[in-house]
Chains A and B, each alone.
Chain A
Amino acid sequence: MTTTETPPLPTTGRRQVGDSVFAGAAKAAGILILVVLAGVAIFLVTEAAPAITAAPEDVPGGEGLAAYIGPLIFGTLLAAVIALVVATPLAVGIALFITYFAPRKLAQTLGYVVDLLAAIPSVVFGFWGIFALAPALVPLFGWLEDNLGFIPLFAGPASSTGRTMLTAGLVLAVMILPIISAISREVFRQAPALHQEAALALGATRWEMIKMAVLPYGRSGVIGGAMLGLGRALGETLAIALVLSVSGGITFNLISSGNPSTIAANIALNFPESTGLDVNTLIASGLALFVITLAVNMAARYVVNRRADFTE
């Protein structure tokens, strides 16, 4: 091997220009994310400010910002809660089915199939909601009004198009189903095998094993997953904008044609034609939505992460 006189080790001066440039770029990208998020908050506040400070009679509806946004927040929460109540038990059932009951060979494929639901664009869910789900639910609404009308939720009069709050909530439920079931599957899969085997060794049936060794372990994961689903449901726009027939304000009546809108749907429907203070008002409502989803998502992350710490 040719022996060349080796140069002395180079010093810091010319070293790693590439390294500092690259590290700097990576760091800058990370910081940009902080900036973007701050930007979202700042720009929303800036553009919402005129509506917040405006005289009540200038705000759409003529009774001030709170009166305008209030029913929207109510509608948003109502639709999301319906979705959550319907989707969570179903999602847990699906997760249990895929993890413990389905034939081993099929399990992965079934998981993919459920995930397909998550891939469908929300505008398509909206189409399906109007044209397939809503008409299919009309007879059910009639039946509910006739037989359970004494419950305020089903007081009626039943909508003849089916485009009600309950329909919107059900569409949302289908949309958040894959989110909750994916996280539930994850936590069920991580339940310690040792406990499960111990339970089986004691002669437990499959369900007893799940009750003893899986559900206690997965509970906070499921709660976190449900809250992430809630966050998604709160912000869902197009499906609701299409499905829900809006008129009137706050009501718990789920099957009539008079429903409050949701924040997101209201923005989507009114923004394109709005100018001036109307735009600021819509942005102010968007700010409210941002704050609500932020709170829900942070709480969800907290619950999910606490579980992760606990696991380690």
Chain B
Amino acid sequence: MAKRIEVSDLDIFYGNFKAVEGVNVSIEPRSVTALIGPSGCGKSTFLRSLNRMHEVIPGARVEGKVVMDGQNLYDPDTDPVAVRRQIGMVFQRPNPFPTMSIYDNVVAGVRLNGGRMKKSDTDAIVERSLQSANLWNEVKDRLDRPGAGLSGGQQQRLCIARAIAVEPQVLLMDEPCSALDPISTLAIEDLMTELKDRFTIVIVTHNLQQAARVSEQTGFFNLNGVGQPGRLIEFNPTEKIFSNPDVKATEDYISGRFG
């Protein structure tokens, strides 16, 4: 059920400010694609434009095409809400709903969309999603406790469980481990490796080792100067990027000789 995403000539704006320019890329299904690059070069902006979360910000807009399954996500007739149902997202800071229990957090996506379900069905979804997020064993005895009462790493896995509970095609993750300790980070990296059999995964990370460990493809974003738009400089298999990149800037960045 994972799907390919084709991006062509994508320009992304905040009001009049062009944050990202001319992105052309094809994101492979059933694989992990990593996005790396210096701070402020537009990785998050690009990621958020893939499931139309970008336009939530007042004044933000996009030009160009993002095609999934033959359908342009930015077609005027396409419902952004439907796009987001199929392309889920995990944020940098864990953000479980504070008013809901662990159980309710997991089924939030299903319930908030007005779905009426039998208790046995939601029970199944909760168990399956928490299992997939490697969180089940830790929380199965306290599903009715507030989600905000978990540790940071557990909260982040809860958010992943919540995102996959609605069975999206694609999972976008924006620096999902940057607020976590090394153990939790490893747990989530393992999780990504398991999940990529079922989902297309795109992850933004500042941790180059992480990109090297988990991804098949890597994209390097860079910007020429302050106030200039960010660009996708190079997009290649991860192995190639880390051993023999095509572009000099990539090599400088990888080897820490940047700026």
Are A and B direct contacts in the complex by CB distance below 8 Å?
Answer: yes
How far apart are the CA atoms of A10 and B82 in the complex, in Å?
Answer: 7
Asked whether A16 lies within 8 Å of B1 as measured between CB atoms, the reply is no
**Partner of B79 from A1, A6, A9 at Cβ < 8 Å:** A9
Q: How far is the CB of B6 from chain A (nearest CB, A)?
A: 15
Q: Does B151 contact A (CB under 8 A)?
A: no
Q: How far is the CB of B91 from chain A (nearest CB, A)?
A: 23
- B1 nearest in chain A by CB position: A3
Q: Does B77 contact A (CB under 8 A)?
A: yes
Asked whether A6 lies within 8 Å of B76 as measured between CB atoms, the reply is no
Give every chain B residue within 8 A of A9 (Cβ-Cβ): 71, 73, 78-79, 82-83, 86
A11 in contact with B1 given A1-B167, A6-B86 (CB within 8 Å): no
Q: Does A8 contact B (CB under 8 A)?
A: yes
How far apart are the CA atoms of A9 and B167 in the complex, in Å?
Answer: 15
Q: Does A105 contact B (CB under 8 A)?
A: no
- A1 nearest in chain B by CB position: B198
Instruction: Encode contact with B along A1-37: 1 for CB under 8 Å, 0 otherwise.
Output: 1011010111111011000000000000000000000
Number of interface residues of A (CB under 8 A): 12
Q: Does B81 contact A (CB under 8 A)?
A: yes
Instruction: Encode contact with A along B65-79: 1 for CB under 8 Å, 0 otherwise.
Output: 000010101001111
Q: Does B105 contact A (CB under 8 A)?
A: no
Q: How far is the CB of B194 from chain A (nearest CB, A)?
A: 12
How far apart are the CA atoms of A9 and B81 in the complex, in Å?
Answer: 9
Give every chain A residue within 8 A of B167 (Cβ-Cβ): 1
Asked whether A8 lies within 8 Å of B71 as measured between CB atoms, the reply is yes
A12 in contact with B169 given A1-B128, A3-B1, A6-B86 (CB within 8 Å): no
| Beta-carbon contacts under 8 Å, B59-100 to A | 69, 71, 73, 76-79, 81-83, 86
- A3 nearest in chain B by CB position: B1
Number of interface residues of B (CB under 8 A): 16
Asked whether A11 lies within 8 Å of B77 as measured between CB atoms, the reply is yes
Q: How far is the CB of A19 from chain B (nearest CB, A)?
A: 8
| Beta-carbon contacts under 8 Å, B116-165 to A | 128
**Partner of A16 from B76, B81, B198 at Cβ < 8 Å:** B81
Q: How far is the CB of B127 from chain A (nearest CB, A)?
A: 13
Asked whether B169 lies within 8 Å of A6 as measured between CB atoms, the reply is yes
How far apart are the CA atoms of A80 and B185 in the complex, in Å?
Answer: 66
**Partner of A12 from B73, B77, B128 at Cβ < 8 Å:** B77
Give every chain B residue within 8 A of A6 (Cβ-Cβ): 1, 69, 86, 169
How far apart are the CA atoms of A8 and B78 in the complex, in Å?
Answer: 10
Instruction: Encode contact with A along B226-240: 1 for CB under 8 Å, 0 otherwise.
Output: 000000000000000
Q: How far is the CB of A294 from chain B (nearest CB, A)?
A: 31
How far apart are the CA atoms of A8 and B167 in the complex, in Å?
Answer: 15
Question: Can you list 13 residue pairs at the A/B interface with Cβ under 8 Å?
Answer: A1-B128, A1-B167, A4-B1, A6-B69, A6-B169, A8-B71, A9-B71, A9-B73, A9-B79, A9-B83, A11-B78, A11-B79, A12-B77
Nearest 10 interchain pairs by C-beta: A15-B79, A11-B77, A9-B82, A3-B1, A12-B77, A10-B82, A10-B79, A9-B78, A9-B71, A1-B198
Beyond A1-B167, A9-B86, 19 additional pairs, beta carbon < 8 A: A1-B1, A1-B198, A3-B1, A6-B69, A8-B69, A8-B71, A9-B71, A9-B79, A9-B82, A10-B79, A10-B82, A11-B78, A12-B76, A12-B77, A12-B78, A15-B79, A15-B81, A15-B82, A16-B81
